[in-house]
Chains A and B, each alone.
Chain A
Amino acid sequence: MKLTSAIVGALAALGLAAGAATAEECGTITLGAAISLTGKYATNGIHAKNGYEFAIQKIREHGGVKIGDKCYNFKVIYYDDESKGDRGATLAERLIQQDGVQYMLGPYSSGLTKAIAPVTEKYHIPMVEAEGASRSLFNQGYRYLFAVLSTSEQYLASAITLAAEKAKEQGKDPSSVKVAVAVENDPFSLDIRAGVLEDAAKYGMQIVIDEKLPRDLSDMSAILTKVKLVKPDVLIVSGHSKGAATAVRQIGEQNVKVPMIAITHCEAADVTGNFGEYANDILCSTQWAETLKYEDPIFGTAANYEREFKAAFPEYADKKVPYQTAQASAAVYVFKDAFERAGTLDKEKVRDAIAATDLMTFYGRIKFSEAGNNIAKPMVLRQIQNGEYNVVAPSEFASHKLNWPRN
């Protein structure tokens, strides 16, 4: 409750500062979102909701959505899906049937998106989602589903490329690289594994450890002992925030030395805050970082987005703005752009306009494939260097050099 009122307060303050005059004359476009405000995805659900709200506010400040000579502002009807798929699907029905919503923003997580997509598809409601990365979302032939983020098999595949580059620098053949993979047994992490194995196979690398982490992982010393014995060149771990926390903690405690360690969910597990120097030189994948050199006319640069978002949501003041928030804002921006290009509120025309999106944003370039996933934005790898997250790959956007080998 407190949080909500804080958000409302912050937004009200922003609204006053930006001049309420434009808000009066503009119409309203209602978007719907079932999002996890309680349950296990609540933390990230709220990050996403804040991202939506911030984007709506910024778009209003910039004169709203211009369709013909009329202007519109976005409004979102939110329901709490309690982090449960069946609830999400029911709420999507309710948004469309009872509230008459014509356009949807996505929920948090691939699982929830998977639950909602059949409903939006049935009613031909365009949905731009920002938090479902599983590639299984994009091989169902969905016509009305669009995702601004990179799909999950790309999350750590770039680490393999990086390892191959390093091997070449050392005068070795990339096929001599040994890879150890430990990922959770859920669709998202298995996608990551698939991406890694695919790229490793391309270079002819050898997979020496290939383990699935249990859902309630709290101890992976068995795997790390094996890592110490078989000495791989790359260690890949993905198991949401518990995987990141357990891995970093035990890699430190057991003094595991692998030249390159790449994991996901570093920020969610706050590995730098919790485990300090244990986290050093670990590679973390991210959809977005505020140091990237992306820019657009609404949000400015990535760094500017970070700054203004923190001003609007003071509870983020002493932490990094999570990428979940940035991509949520980008999804709203895609809607604005599509409405303006379509020049109408007709949902089929808007759907076609979304499909034709080719937009540079503070979050990266957005261009959808036939299947609806964003194919223009690369995944980013950051390395934790003395407690700081520094972008090291892809090299054209990198701000820092890779520390290799890790020790």
Chain B
Amino acid sequence: MDQILFNLGLLVDYPVVNLKIIIDGVMIGALFALAAYGLALVWGVMNVKNLAQGDFVIAGGYVSWALVRTGWLQSIGLSDNIAALIGVPVAFLVMAGIGWIAFRTIIVRVIERDVFTSLLATFGLAIMMAQILNLLFGSDTQSLKLEYDTLYFADGLIDVPIAKLVGVCMAAALALGVILFMKNSRMGQAIRATAQDARAAQVLGIDTDRVYAFTFSLNAAICGAAGAIIVMVWVIQPFYGMTYSIRAFVIVTAAGLGNLPGVIAAGLGIGAAEQYGSHIFGISYQQAIAVLLLLLVLFVRLMQQRRKRQVLQ
């Protein structure tokens, strides 16, 4: 209790720290939002709750890390920084391929089944991916350090590493690209149509099988790119997937399916809430706060639904 009061006191004594916490939270929240958006897509379109979401993120991180470590790009005269940045689109493409394979081998068999089958199948996929990453890259923590400076404000209390800034900008660009794609392209329209009513879409000549496959690859690709950004800003480890999966679930549950601005807002919000929580209650409660928020959201949703049902009666 003393510790909590002390921590709250710090927030009051140094108001600028609030800003720092929010900035940090928004930065990590942007990446949560990306993974969550992919989840919302898959969930909304094919009703598959993908528990391997976080493992796609981590796998994407390893793709980029491996690319930089092999030194192919550096051997044609590119710097480490550029190689890491190129890692983001490369991870996007590679993970799209892996997503497609996962869809054809596993997901396609569980689309029409009940919730538990898809949960079990994707949970199995998650375990398998973590183990494969572990065998390929070892269990040590990995990260890429970009040769960028850090910007300091307010006597050095606020620090914004340029690498983080670059990462957040890339995340924003990716989100924007996906939004435009969903709005304007034929495939995007087909995906949205399938999400609304798969049967009707089929009747109108949409190859829903292709749409499913595409959606799942797109999701894996978005996650992969998010992972490639994470590896240059934070650290990755083969068994870190679950933390990103949990956050993605919390965000999607809070924002609801098909509510893209909601997903982004919830992503940023949960990032900030976690940072606040870890400042006030201690960093060990960071994830507890995410899960607590999930409970709260579920509770509120339940109340709302109850109200609706009463109206219907």
Contacts and interface: CB of A to CB of B under 8 A. Distances in A.
B14 A229 contact: yes
Contact of B282 (A212, A218, A230, A245): A212
Contacts of B287: 214, 216
A35 to B, nearest CB: 14
Interface in A200-259: 210-214, 216-223, 225-226, 228-230, 240-242, 244-246, 249, 253-255
A185 interface: yes
Nearest to B144: A274
Interface stretch (A39-47, A344-352, A379-387): A39-47
Contacts of B205: none
Interface stretch (B112-120, B233-241, B300-308): B233-241
Contact of A185 (B156, B235, B237, B284): B284
Nearest to B130: A40
B150 A245 contact: no
Interface stretch (B36-44, B45-53, B131-139, B255-263): B131-139
Contacts of A276: 145
A178 to B, nearest CB: 13
B235 A253 contact: no
Contacts of A228: 156-157
> Which of B20, B135, B140 has the largest number of chain A CB atoms within 10 A?
B140
A169 B28 CA distance: 43
A39 B282 CA distance: 30
Interface string B54-98: 000000000000000000000000000000000000000000000
Given A212-B284, A222-B283, A225-B279, A245 B243 contact: no
A380 B36 CA distance: 45
Contact of B283 (A220, A229, A244): A220
B27 to A, nearest CB: 9
A42 B139 contact: yes
A275 B145 contact: yes
Nearest to A278: B145
Contacts of A229: 10, 13-14, 17, 157
Interface string B262-286: 0000000000000100110011101
Given A38-B135, A274-B145, A216 B156 contact: no
Contacts of A39: 131, 134, 139
B159 A253 contact: yes
Interface in A149-207: 182, 185
Contacts of B142: 245
B7 A226 contact: yes
Main secondary structure of the interface of B (DSSP, over half): helix
A242 B141 contact: yes
**Chain B: interface size category:** 35 or more
B284 A213 contact: yes
A268 B140 CA distance: 7
Contacts of B28: 219
Given A222-B283, A228-B156, A274 B139 contact: no
Contacts of A278: 145
B284 to A, nearest CB: 4
A230 B6 CA distance: 11
B134 A245 contact: no
A226 to B, nearest CB: 7
A403 B23 CA distance: 34
Greatest chain B CB density within 10 A among A217, A221, A244, A249 is at A221
B237 to A, nearest CB: 6
A7 interface: no
A203 B152 CA distance: 36
A223 B161 CA distance: 17
B129 to A, nearest CB: 14
Nearest to B240: A216
Contacts of B24: 219, 221-222
Contacts of A255: 150, 152, 156, 159
Given A253-B161, A255-B150, A255-B152, A225 B17 contact: yes
Contacts of A211: 282-284
B151 to A, nearest CB: 10
Contact of A242 (B13, B20, B237, B279): B237
Nearest to A210: B3
Given A245-B143, A246-B235, A269-B141, A182 B279 contact: no
Nearest to B160: A253
B290 to A, nearest CB: 11
B275 A222 contact: yes
Given A212-B283, A255-B159, A269 B134 contact: no
B250 to A, nearest CB: 15
Contacts of A225: 17, 20-21, 157, 279
A31 B230 CA distance: 44
Q: Which of A39, A240, A242 has the most CB of B within 10 A?
A: A242
Given A241-B141, A249-B235, A274-B145, A38 B134 contact: yes
Interface string B18-34: 00110010001000000
Nearest to A82: B131
B242 interface: yes
Nearest to B20: A225
Given A212-B282, A212-B283, A274-B145, A218 B240 contact: yes
A240 B141 CA distance: 9
Contacts of A212: 282-284
Contacts of B275: 221-222
A226 B280 CA distance: 10
A42 B134 contact: yes
Interface string A18-50: 000000000000000000001111110000000
A213 B283 contact: yes
A242 B284 contact: no
A79 to B, nearest CB: 18
Given A40-B139, A216-B237, A228-B157, 20 more contacts: A38-B134, A40-B238, A40-B239, A43-B139, A43-B140, A211-B282, A211-B283, A211-B284, A214-B287, A218-B235, A218-B243, A222-B24, A222-B286, A229-B10, A229-B14, A230-B10, A240-B141, A242-B235, A244-B141, A274-B145
Query: 4 shortest A-B CB distances, which residue pairs?
Result: A212-B284, A222-B278, A242-B141, A218-B234
17 contacts: A38-B134, A41-B139, A43-B138, A185-B284, A211-B282, A211-B284, A212-B282, A214-B286, A216-B237, A217-B283, A218-B235, A221-B275, A222-B275, A226-B279, A241-B141, A245-B141, A246-B235
